[in-house]
Structure 1
Amino acid sequence: MSDPTTTGRVRGRPATTRRRLLAAVGATAAAGVAGCTGANGDGDGGGGGAGGDAGTERYDGWLADASGYDGSVADRTGADEATVRVGAGDGFAYDPAAVRVSPGTTVTWEWTGAGSRHNVVDEDGGFQSPYYAAQGATFSREFSEPGVTKYYCTPHRTLGMVGVVEVVEE
């Protein structure tokens, strides 16, 4: 029979026991909860920004893990065109991640050339750009109807490369 003090261990490293694992999970959960509570005391947790809302709640959490997202919504209502940079920040973000436009506005995604090949895919299947990597490549779409379009980059979605176009009546 094997020695129970060494079974499953790497020489020189302590064995991971159920007790140690549960303690680590508990400490991590406690730290996470502590990070969610604020010292200011107003309790709303809203970040504000351009457009006046945190964005993550407004879009059903779609932008909660968006790369480079600061909680703001770029308000381009009244403009004929809006531009979203593809491969912004660390190369795996859309900038702005959330843009608000009027019906009839053309949104153009423009590639920065950073972060590899990217595309733009409507979550509901309404459109899909080709993959581009070259700086200056563009893909455009006119948004006619009020509503929210959630989109992502196929290979980098899990890295938080997601965005939103919100179309509102003025």
Structure 2
Amino acid sequence: MLDDLDRRTFIRTTAAVSGAGLLAGCGGSGGDGGSSDGGDGDAEATEAETTESGGGMETAEAPEEVANYVGDSSNFDGSMVVLTDQDEVSVAVGAEGNGGAFAFDPPAINVSTGTTVVWEWTGQGAGHNVVSEGEGPLDSGSAVAEEGTTYEYTFEESGTYLYNCVPHRALGMVGAVVVE
């Protein structure tokens, strides 16, 4: 139970720190910086744009594909939380955002291959699910509302994985996992 509380505290801290970074003027140049053409300049730009906040949470400017997809979510500030040094990370489902409990938190994360992402339902905002945008590996099934429900997926291949909550996609309940 303590691990669950620590995980939830981590997620809340991540959201607060990401917002603080935006307020502090950590805006990017607006350039692509995150295209997936594999050029060396993109990796260098991402490293240069990575910042570590006072709370020890590392963030980086989200790639253009992620920013375009997650940009309408009210809790997305243009950055993704960098969690590349962890074997397992959590994302809250039904977090505050988009006019209620209709958000993923954090909405965009950066992980390493082999990382397991666990989506944890808060019990808020009615029934939610996690489904890949277009064709993709994520599908938690039918929308459920029960707090404590979890869905996990281990990302074995690098790439950008966009996902949403089908019942609340129109409200902006979308997220992204960038795997290196």
Do these two structures clear the TM 0.5 threshold for a shared fold by scoring above it? Answer: yes
Match of 1:52 in 2: 60
1:73-92 to structure 2, matched below 5 A, reads: 73-89=80-96, 90-92=100-102
For 1:60-139, what aligned pairs fall within 5 Å after superposition? Answer: 61-89=68-96, 90-123=100-133, 124-130=135-141, 131-139=143-151
TM (norm. structure 2) is: 0.64
Which of 166, 169, 179 is matched with 1:154 structurally?
Answer: 166
Please tell me whether the aligned partners of residues 103 and 144 of structure 1 are also in contact (alpha carbons under 8 angstroms).
yes
Structure 1 residues 76 and 48: CA distance shift in structure 2, 3 A: closer
Shift of 1:77: 0.4
The 1:87–1:43 alpha-carbon spacing in structure 2 relative to 1, beyond 3 Å, is closer
Q: What is the alpha-carbon root mean square deviation over aligned residues? A: 2.5
3-state SS, counterpart of residue 156 of structure 1: helix
Amino acid across the alignment from 1:83: S
Q: Which amino acid aligns with 2:59?
A: G
Structure richer in strand, relative to its length: 2
Work out the number of aligned pairs and report it: 127
Task: List runs of 5+ in structure 1 lacking aligned partners.
Answer: 1-39
Quote the sequence identity (%): 46
